[in-house]
Chain A
C-alpha cells in the first residue's frame, strides 16, 4: 500500500489561505484516538492540520476555541458512496457515477457536485469525505477516488485509488471463463508496448463468448496497466467463499494487489483472507442469503473476520444506501453488537478506509493528519446521537441542509402558508 503514496494525485488543493491560516483549538472533549479509543484530550489544528494533541492545551493564544466538554470527537466519517454523483436514483439524468464509454479508466470523481442535497445531509451527519464507487457498464466498473465533502466550490481530492470489478454470478458468463478472460486481457496489456502513442488510436474490442464483447479505450488500458504494475489495487466485489479463494489465488498469480468488496461469505475463508493479507470492505448488516452466491451470509461475518485478523472497512448498504452513507455508524454499531470490538468498529468507518486505499493524512485524529473532525453529543455509533459540529481541513462547516429546512417548515408555528415563510 505504501506505493500509492507515491502516485496519489492531489488534483485539487484549494484550501483558501484565509481558512488555512486559522487555528482551531478543540478543548475538553473525549477524543477518539485510533489505538486507544476515547480519551480526554485537547488538540490544535493549524493550517488545516492537526499539530498537537495533549492532555491540556491552553486556549486564548490564537484563533478559535471549540469547547467540547462532554462531547465525543471522532475523525470525520470516510464513507463509500455515490455522494455528489447521484441525486435521484431512478432519474438517470441525475446520475453521473456510471459510464457506457469507459470502464477501467472511468473516473466518476470528475463529476462531483458539491451542492448535492445528499452531500449536505451526509455532512450534517458527520461525513467529511467519500470514496466514490463507480458503476460503469463494462468489464470494470471504474476508478475509485476520494473527495472531501466540505462546503463550497472546491474540494481536495485524492486518487485514483483503485479499479473496481466484480466476480461471481453478477457476471454473465461462467466463472471459469471470467477469470480466463481477465487473465487473457492482462496478458494482452502486458504484451503491448507502453508507448502511449500505440494506445492513442486504440479502441480495443475483446470478444468473449459468442455474443458479448467488452470495449476498452486507451484510457481503460492505461488503468489496467496500473493494476499490473501495482500502482493501483483491484477491488473485486465477490461474495461466494469459493469465488473469494479463486480471486485471491488469481491476484497472487497475476501479481496484483487485491481488496475484497461485499464478501458475504468471507467468514468461511477468514483465515485464508488473513493469510493473504487482503483487506475487506463490507456492510456488517448483509446477512440475507440474497443470492446463490451468499447462501452462508450471516451477521457473524464481521466478528469472524475480525477474529482472524482481517483488516476491514464498513459501509452502509441497506435501505436508501448511498444517500444515507452516514449510516455507516449504524452498520458499525451493529458490528459491535455482533462481537467486533468498539474501537475496531469505529476505525472501520474512519481510519481503515484510509489505510486500505492509501489515503494520505485523513481518517484519524493524529498529529500530522488533516483536521476532518466530527463532534457528537454522545456515542457516535448509537442511533440516537447527533453531530453538533463538523470540521473539514480545520474549517467549521455549515451543517444546514434541505431536510432540516423541511422539518422546520412543517414543525414551527406559522402565520402564513409554508411556501411564504422564510427559508431561514
Chain B
C-alpha cells in the first residue's frame, strides 16, 4: 500500500497539482437530450437566475469581440443582462467604468472541465467523474455528479471563466452526458445550468477505455471501434422500437438516440489523427455529427479533414508526453487547426484542468506565439476566438454568449492589460451583466466549503 502511495505521489509530482493530477483518468465526459428526457426546461432543466445587474457602459477600452476583431478606444454598453451596443463614444446614460488602458473580452469559456465532478479537495469520496463500470455508460449524466460547493469555481472565475462544460471522464467508450454550467454560485446544479444549452455525450478513443477494460474488453483500439458501432446499432434498433412502443424507456439508448436525432452534441476524447478519422467514419455510418474532438494532440495532422467536416478540435497549448498517444505534440497544433482551409478551422484551447482553466488566456497566448513562429500570421483577436466564440459554438451556446454582439448575454471580462501577457489579470468579470468578480475588492463567491478556512496567526 505504501508503495502505491508513493507511486501516486510520483504521479502527482509528474503530472501536476494534487487535484488535477492525472490526465489519464480525469479527462473526458458527455451528455445529451432525447424525446424522453429533453429536460432543458423540464425536470432537470435550468433554474438559473442571474444576479442583479446595472445599466453599465465600459468606456475607452481595447475590445476583443470574440469574432476575430479588435477595436481600440471602444465602448461597450450593457443592461438587463444583455449587450446593447459596441462603438466609439456611445451616447448612453449608464454607470460608467473607465476602460482606459484596459482590455475587454467576452467571458472565457472552457469546453473541457471536470470541476464539480472531480472537485477539490481531490478525495475518493467525491471523485465522481468516471462511471468506470462498463464501457458504455451513455445513461449517466455528469450533472448528477456535480458538487455545487466545489471551491474551484471561483478560482476559474478569477481567470475570466464565465461558462464551462463539465464532462464525464474518459474511462468509457461512451462516458455519459456532459453539462454546460454558468460559473455562478448556487446550491443546486440546476441553478448553475446554462439555460437552453444542449446536452452533450462524451465518447473516448484510444488508450483509456482499452486499458480500463483490458480484462473484459475492449482491450484494443479495434475493440473500441466495435464497441462504438455495437452501441449505435443498439440505438438504431431502439429508435425503431419506439415506433411500436413509444413509451418504452431506456436511459442508455435515450442518450444515443438523442445524438442520432441531432439533439445531443458529441464531445469526443481522441488524441490520435488516425483514430479521429476513424471516428468520423463511424459518424457517417450512423449518420450523426461529431461536434468536437477533445485533447486532439494530433489534430494538426488532419487539420484539413477537420475543417472539411466542420468538426472542432479542443486542444491544450503544450501538454504532452504523459501517455503514448500524447507524444506527437506541437505547440503549433492550435494554430494549424485554426488556419486549415484558409482559416475555416475551428480551434479551441481547453483546459481539462482546474489549474489550467484559470489561465486559458495564457494557454492561448502560447499557442498563438508558436503558431506565428511556425509561419502563420494570426492576430491576438483571432486567438481570442479559441477561448470564446469557438468553445461557445462547440457547447451549442453561441447564440447566447461567446462574442460581444448586441443582443447577446453580457458575459464580459475586463483585463488589467493585454490578456495575452503573463502579467495580466482579470479585473472584473460580468455574467449576464451582473458583476461576479472584482479583483480590487476581492468580491467573489465563496462556497460553503470555503467557510471556516482561515489563516490563524502563529503564536
Task: List residues of A whose CB falls within 8 A of some B CB.
Answer: 82, 86-91, 97-98, 100, 117-118, 133, 135-138, 141, 166, 170-172, 211-212, 214, 237, 245, 267-269, 271-272, 283, 285-292, 294-296, 317-324, 327, 330, 333-334, 336-337, 381-386, 403-404, 406-408, 410-411
Residue of B nearest to A89 (CB): B322
> CB distance B121 to A90 under 8 Å?
no
With known contacts A98-B10, A382-B421, A291–B322 Cβ distance under 8 A: no
Task: Judge whether A288 and B17 touch: CB under 8 Å.
Answer: yes
Distance A98 CA – B9 CA, assembled complex (angstroms): 11
Question: With A and B bound together, what is the CA distance between A117 and B321 in angstroms?
Answer: 9
Q: Hey, which chain A residues are within 8 Å of B324, CB to CB?
A: 88, 90-91
Cross-interface CB contact of A170 among B3, B5, B20, B458, cutoff 8 Å: B5
In the complex, the answer to whether B453 meets A133 with C-beta atoms within 8 Å is: no
Interface string of B1-28 (1 = CB under 8 A from A): 1110111011111111111100010000
User: With A294-B18, A296-B453, A330-B362 given, is the CB distance from A386 to B369 under 8 Å?
Assistant: yes
Give 17 CB contacts A-B under 8 Å.
A87-B321, A90-B323, A98-B6, A170-B9, A285-B359, A288-B354, A290-B17, A290-B120, A317-B17, A319-B16, A319-B318, A337-B422, A382-B423, A384-B366, A403-B330, A406-B329, A410-B303
Contact A136 B6 (CB under 8 A): yes
Tell me which residues across on chain B come within 8 A of A317, comparing CB atoms.
13, 16-17
* Given A100-B3, A268-B458, A318-B356, also A383-B121 (CB < 8 A): no
User: Of A141, A320, A337, A408, which one neighbours B6 at CB under 8 angstroms?
Assistant: A141
Chain B 214-238, CB-CB to A under 8 Å as 1, else 0, gives 0000000000000000000000000
**A100, A289, A296 pick with most chain B CB within 10 angstroms:** A289
A321 pairs with B332, CB closer than 8 A: no
A211, A285, A333, A410: the one contacting B336 at CB < 8 Å is A410
- Give the Cβ gap from B425 to chain A, nearest Cβ, in Å: 6
16 new A-B contacts, CB < 8 A, other than A287-B155, A407-B331, are A82-B14, A90-B24, A118-B321, A138-B2, A170-B12, A290-B20, A291-B121, A291-B123, A318-B353, A318-B355, A321-B14, A324-B318, A333-B422, A384-B365, A386-B369, A403-B330
Bound Cα distance A393, B2 (Å)? 42
Count B interface residues, CB 8 Å.
72
Structural contact, B322 and A172, CB atoms closer than 8 A = no
- A86, A336, A382, A410 pick with most chain B CB within 10 angstroms: A410
Which of A212, A288, A320: most chain B Cβ within 10 A?
A288
Residue in A133, A290, A323 whose beta carbon sits within 8 Å of that of B320 in the complex: A323
Render B341-365 as a binary contact track against A, CB cut-off 8 A, 1 for contact. Answer: 0000000000001111011001001
Using known A-B contacts A166-B9, A317-B13, determine if residue A291 contacts B18 with beta carbons closer than 8 Å.
Answer: yes
Which of the residues A100, A212, A237, A336 comes within 8 Å of B1, measured between beta carbons?
Answer: A212
Give min CB distance, B113 to chain A, whole Å. 13
Closest A-chain residue to B302, C-beta based?
A410
